[in-house]
Amino acid sequence: MSLNRLRNMFEKKEGAVGTFFSGGNMSFMECLGFSGLDFVIIDCEHGPFDTETMMDLIRAAELRGLVPMVRIANVDHKEIQRAADCGAQGIIVPCLRDVPDFRRLVDLAKFTPLGNRGFIKGRGAGFGCADWADTKSLEEYFENSNDRLIVMPQCETREALENIEEIAAIPGIDGIFIGPFDLSTAMGIAGRFDLPEFKAAEKRVFEACRAAGKICYTFSTSAEKTAAYLKEGYDGVACSQDYIIFTEAYRALNADIRSRLK
C-alpha cells in the first residue's frame, strides 16, 4: 500500500474528485474538507499564496482529510523544494514544453535514485517524527518520500502533446494532468472541447498514461462533465475552483430569495 491515498485509489481504480483552491483561507480549506472531496490543488500558479500560507493551507487540508496537492508556476528549484518540504503530496506544474523540463522536474522533486532532491526532513515528514519518516536508513526515507509525493506535470502545450509518450514513460513522473483550457488554446481551438481534434488529443494523453502505467487526471467545470470523465476511466478530475463555486452558490441563493419576493 502507498503512503499516498490518491496512489492507492489509482491502484484500486477508484476515481478521485478534487478542486482547485486559489482564493480562500485556512477556514475555507477546512470547510472544503467537510465536502468529502478526495483532494485539493492549492494553486500557486494563479493564487496569491506565499510559502507560509501554502504551508498552512496544506495543514488545514490534512486536518479535514483532503490530500493536498500544490500547483507551482514552473520548474523552479525553490518552488519545488518548498512545496515538497511543506508537505504537498502532489506537485503539478503547468505549461511545460520540452522533455528535458519534465526530467528536471523529477530531478528536483524526487530523492535518489529517481532524482536529486535536496535532503531534509521537513514539515511534510513531521520534522522527521512521522512514522514513515522515522526510518532506520536514509534509503527507506527516500523511498517513502518518493512514494508519498505524486509528480504530475500538466499536458497543455503542443510540444508536450507531441512528446507525451516519452514524457509519460519518464521514471518519477507519476502521472499527467491534462489542462483542457490551455491545451485547446495551444492547439488553436480554444475551449472547443467537443471537437474531434481535441478529443483525439485527450485520448492520446490518456493512452500514453495507460501504456506507461501512470495516473491520468484532468480538469472540468461541471459535475456532469466530471462524472463523464470518471466513467471514461480517468483516474481523477479536478472540478472547478473555490471562488467560482462560492460565487455561484451565493448568486443562486440571492436569486432564490429575490424570486420568492415577487
Q: Footprint of Mg ion on this chain (CB under 5 A)?
A: 94, 156, 179, 182
Per CB under 6 A, 182 contacts ligand 3PY: yes
Least distance between ligand 3PY and beta carbon 254 (Å): 27
Provide the minimum distance between the beta carbon of 219 and ligand 3PY in the complex, in angstroms, as a whole number: 4
Grid cell 467537510 — which residue?
34
Decide if residue 124 touches ligand 3PY (CB under 6 A).
no
Residue 118 in grid coordinates: 535536496
Nearer to ligand 3PY, 24 or 94 (CB): 94
Cα–Cα distance list, 16 to 7, 179, 193, 227 (Å): 10, 17, 21, 10
Q: Looking at 28, 181, 193, 243, which residue binds ligand 3PY (CB under 6 A)?
A: 181
Q: Which is nearer to ligand 3PY, 146 or 226 (CB)?
A: 226
214-233 residues in contact with ligand 3PY (CB under 6 A) are 219
10 interacts with, out of ligand 3PY, Mg ion, none, CB within 5 to 8 A per kind: none
> How far is Cα 246 from Cα 115, in angstroms, rounded to an integer?
39
Alpha helices (H) along 87-189: 99-109, 138-148, 158-162, 164-168, 180-186
Shortest reach from residue 53's CB to Mg ion, in Å:
21
Q: Which stretch binds ligand 3PY (CB under 6 A): 81-89, 180-188, 195-203, 208-216?
A: 180-188
Nearer to ligand 3PY, 114 or 167 (CB): 167
- The DSSP bridge partners found for residue 154 are 177
Write down the least CB distance from residue 184 to ligand 3PY, Å: 8
Give, as ranges, the residues between 11 and 70 that touch ligand 3PY (CB under 6 A): none
Question: Which residue reads 509525493 in cell numbers?
Answer: 149
CA distances from 211 to 33, 67, 171 (A): 33, 26, 13
Phi and psi for 153 in degrees, rounded to 5?
Answer: -65, 160
Q: Whole-number minimum distance, CB 116 to ligand 3PY, in Å? A: 27
